[in-house]
Amino acid sequence: MMIYSFKIRKSNYITLFLTILFFITTGCVHGQLGVNNSNQYRNGMVVCAYPDAAQVGLDILKKGGNAVDAAVAVQFALTVTHPQAGNIGGGGFMVFRSKSGKTNTLDFREKGPAGASANMYLDSAGNVIPDMSLYTHQASGVPGSVDGMVEAHRKYGKLKWADLVQPAIELARNGFKITKHLASDLNRTKAQFTKLNPGKTYLIKDGDWNEGDVLVQEDLAKTFELIRDKGREGFYDGIVADEIVAEMKSGKGLMTKEDLKNYHSVWRNAITGNYKGYKIITMPPPSSGGIALLQLLQSVEKYPLKRWGYNQDSTVRLVVEAERRVYADRSKYLGDPDFFKVPVDSLLKPAYTASRMSNFSWDAATPSTSIQPGTFVSYESDQTTHYSIVDRDGNAVSITTTLNDSFGSKIFVKGAGFLLNNEMDDFSSKPGVPNMYGLIGGKANSIQPGKRMLSSMTPTIVEKDGKLFMVVGTPGGSTIITSVFQTILNVIEFNQSMQHAVTSKRFHSQWLPDEVTVEKDAIDSATVTKLQGKGYKITTHGTIGRVDAILKTQWGYYEGGADPRGDDTKLGW
Ligand code: GLY
């Protein structure tokens, strides 16, 4: 009898042990069993838009680099491997949280050149000239990415600068195998590359690109050698600066050597908010994303989303109504804080949010008061790119960076081998006239020399109980804000694992146009019918956003979410 009961107890221990092991290895702290069980790492993690760039970041972490070192290497590697959005000819934002919980943000957003002016994209009748802010030499803001990386490294880097630039040189010079996505994006853009770069052959091939082709970029390798050897001066002065200015002159572009020399990124205090006990650390203006994200979270906080469930009728309605109001605010109050007094405190007051939501009714959709209807020209998801990185000490970096449209202006700097942004389109060319994302603006975001154009990029870090909890962000133009918002809700409210939260289908609404755009099957057909019955206009769209995120589990493991909508890759160790 004694022996028998001992056997039972022993088997109970074994069962208990196996159960605990299962929960640890599946990381189901945030629910959803069966999603990516081998997705947990102790020492660090990189999640970004291209496999070779993720490998570069991981190698840096393994060599003893910290999250900022890895970020610098990934930024440059993405310029080579993900030319749709990875860049040195564009800009971006970094949100940083140190292992001890100190936070900071770096604004390396592009700036309007000194020759820019409020009406520069208008014809003599005062109408916006189609595509002038998008596919011309005048469409580029002064790039900020190289200065941003130099600054980030100067303040927080551990490894030598040259070691962080070298992998990009090798990828550009030796080439790398392209994915199916990249091949198809290159083929789709071939006509525009050819038209806008007469006599140049960058990224253009006789015939079509195919998956597995090797892409070599020798001019870009040389540019990176100058950046490696001279740092900031390698880009904003000397040969590369001369090449940028020559390129500008060839197409009536505005950027001068003075503009390049005068460009400096800016450290800004993060803006923070709370959502049900979680602390949200995010990007201040000139991003609209941080404020909008905090407003959205505040707008829905008092409602029982968990009980309603993921993408159910009441959840969708509440989220859409919050988005409608927040995007309306964005159009009026947000711009570069160095030029326009953004009423950050007023926008984030709980009483203000409550008053905004007070006319939300369950009877029917609130019609968006139309200034002028916007149209979504495109929601391509690979404009802009985001990467999330954590290191073994617990430092975390959340960076979103962009050329604006996919491949930016599609114009290469001759001899330097990189693409220029078309970020000037993120300014308001004319009050009330929508930009390529259907976003409307006014005085706050008018064009001025030296001013930064308003952005939707929302790199974000979330804390729980004073500890790192999540690193998150995405590309997707105006859908960035809503994709980050929904990913956070997916984890906190709907108990999804990081990968599940990233993979989950999304929907988007932005006041104007007055519609809800949904990914296929994001909302079931019965719910769609109910929503339509209440006055919501639902349109289906291919994909929304490409979220790359990392969760720190309560067991201290990093769990990644790499968006399956693209080539996004998570690597850890
Ligand atoms: N260019 C897209 C954004 O910054 O929002």
Q: What is the DSSP string of 515-559?
A: -EEEETTSS-HHHHHHHHHTT--EEEES-----EEEEE-TTS-EE
Indicate whether 90 pLDDT > 50: yes
Q: How far is the CA of 61 from the centre of ligand 1 (A)?
A: 29
Indicate whether 312 pLDDT > 50: yes
Radius of gyration of the chain (CA): 24
Residue 380 pLDDT level (bands cut at 50, 70, 90): very low
Q: Would you state the pLDDT for residue 389?
A: 98
* Token pair of 31 as six digits: 């629910």
pTM of the model: 0.92
Q: Would you state the pLDDT for residue 207?
A: 95
Over the range 410-421, which residues count as b (16 or more CB within 10 Å of their CB) and which as e? bbbbbbbbbbbb
Indicate whether 16 pLDDT > 80: no
Indicate whether 27 pLDDT > 70: no
Rounded to the nearest 10 degrees, the angle between the axes of helix 289-300 and helix 350-357 is: 70
Q: Would you state the pLDDT for residue 541?
A: 86
In Å, how far are 96, 302, 483, 557 from 41, measured between CA atoms?
A: 20, 34, 25, 5
Q: Would you state the pLDDT for residue 24?
A: 44
The DSSP H or E segment spanning 308 is helix 305-308
- Using CA atoms of 252, 253, 256, 257 in order, give the dihedral in degrees to the nearest 10: -100
Indicate whether 9 pLDDT > 90: no
- Please indicate whether residue 426, judged by its CB atom, sits closer than 6 Å to ligand 1: yes
State the closest ligand 1 atom to the C-alpha of 480, by its place in the atom list counted from 1.
Answer: 5
All residues at 6 or more sequence positions from 20 whose CB lies less than 8 Å from its CB, including other chains: none
What whole-number percentage of the chain has pLDDT above 70?
A: 91
Indicate whether 522 pLDDT > 80: yes
Q: Would you state the pLDDT for residue 555?
A: 93
* Token pair of 186 as six digits: 């290159």
Q: Do 147 and 236 form a contact (C-beta atoms < 8 A)?
A: yes
Write the pLDDT tens digit of every residue in 42-61.
999 999 999 999 999 999 99
Angle at 250 between CA 245 and CA 256, to 5 degrees: 25
Q: Do 429 and 413 form a contact (C-beta atoms < 8 A)?
A: no
Q: Work out the average pLDDT over 531-540.
A: 95
Indicate whether 475 pLDDT > 60: yes
State the closest ligand 1 atom to the C-alpha of 109, by its place in the atom list counted from 1.
Answer: 4
Indicate whether 62 pLDDT > 90: yes
Q: Would you state the pLDDT for residue 75?
A: 99
Bridge partners (DSSP) listed for residue 281: 272, 461
Q: Would you state the pLDDT for residue 7?
A: 44
Q: How far is the CA of 224 from the centre of ligand 1 (A)?
A: 25
- Please indicate whether residue 477, judged by its CB atom, sits closer than 6 Å to ligand 1: yes
Q: How far is the CA of 499 from the centre of ligand 1 (A)?
A: 25
Q: Would you state the pLDDT for residue 138?
A: 98
Q: Work out the average pLDDT over 376-391.
A: 73
Q: Would you state the pLDDT for residue 10?
A: 52
Residue 6 pLDDT level (bands cut at 50, 70, 90): very low
In 10 A of CB 262, how many CB atoms?
14
Q: Would you state the pLDDT for residue 13?
A: 55
* Residue to probe by mutation, ligand 1, list 480, 481, 482, 508, most atoms within 8 Å of CB: 480
Indicate whether 492 pLDDT > 50: yes
DSSP-based three-state secondary structure for 402: strand
- Catalytic residue, candidates 79, 103, 179, 384: 384
State the closest ligand 1 atom to the C-alpha of 288, by its place in the atom list counted from 1.
Answer: 5
Catalytic residue status for 384: yes
| Edge-to-edge strand ranges of the sheet holding 507-508 | 507-508, 516-519, 538-541
Q: How far is the CA of 53 from the centre of ligand 1 (A)?
A: 22
> Which residue's CA is minimally distant from atom 1 of ligand 1?
404
State the closest ligand 1 atom to the C-alpha of 400, by its place in the atom list counted from 1.
Answer: 4
Bridge partners (DSSP) listed for residue 472: 460
| Cα 79 off chain centre by | 15
In 10 A of CB 229, how many CB atoms?
12
Indicate whether 30 pLDDT > 90: no
- Please indicate whether residue 402, judged by its CB atom, sits closer than 6 Å to ligand 1: yes
State the closest ligand 1 atom to the C-alpha of 404, by its place in the atom list counted from 1.
Answer: 1
Residue with the bigger pLDDT between 32 and 476: it is 476
- Please indicate whether residue 457, judged by its CB atom, sits closer than 6 Å to ligand 1: yes
Q: Do 94 and 154 form a contact (C-beta atoms < 8 A)?
A: no
> Which residue's CA is minimally distant from atom 4 of ligand 1?
455
* Residue to probe by mutation, ligand 1, list 455, 474, 508, most atoms within 8 Å of CB: 455
Q: Would you state the pLDDT for residue 372?
A: 29
- Please indicate whether residue 75, judged by its CB atom, sits closer than 6 Å to ligand 1: no
Write the pLDDT tens digit of every residue in 100-143.
999 999 999 999 999 999 999 999 999 999 999 999 999 999 99
Q: Would you state the pLDDT for residue 68?
A: 99
- Please indicate whether residue 107, judged by its CB atom, sits closer than 6 Å to ligand 1: no
Indicate whether 11 pLDDT > 70: no
Write the pLDDT tens digit of every residue in 414-459.
999 999 999 999 999 998 888 888 887 888 999 999 999 999 999 9
All residues at 6 or more sequence positions from 400 whose CB lies less than 8 Å from its CB, including other chains: 92, 93, 384, 385, 386, 457, 458, 459, 473, 474, 475, 480
Q: Would you state the pLDDT for residue 38?
A: 64
Indicate whether 370 pLDDT > 70: no
Q: How far is the CA of 516 from the centre of ligand 1 (A)?
A: 20
* Residue to probe by mutation, ligand 1, list 420, 426, 436, 484, most atoms within 8 Å of CB: 426
Distance CA 551, CA 560 (A): 6
Q: Would you state the pLDDT for residue 32?
A: 36
The DSSP H or E segment spanning 353 is helix 350-357
User: What mean pLDDT is reported for the chain?
Assistant: 91
Indicate whether 2 pLDDT > 50: no
- Please indicate whether residue 441, judged by its CB atom, sits closer than 6 Å to ligand 1: no
Three-class SS of 195-239? HHCCCCCCCCCCCCCCCCCEECCHHHHHHHHHHHHHCCHHHHCHH
- Please indicate whether residue 510, judged by its CB atom, sits closer than 6 Å to ligand 1: no
- Please indicate whether residue 287, judged by its CB atom, sits closer than 6 Å to ligand 1: no
Q: How far is the CA of 283 from the centre of ligand 1 (A)?
A: 13
Q: Work out the average pLDDT over 280-303.
A: 98
* Residue to probe by mutation, ligand 1, list 404, 419, 421, 484, most atoms within 8 Å of CB: 404
All residues at 6 or more sequence positions from 376 whose CB lies less than 8 Å from its CB, including other chains: 437, 438, 513, 517
In Å, how far are 131, 137, 166, 241, 448 from 247, measured between CA atoms?
A: 19, 8, 26, 10, 22
- Using CA atoms of 236, 242, 244, 248 in order, give the dihedral in degrees to the nearest 10: 130
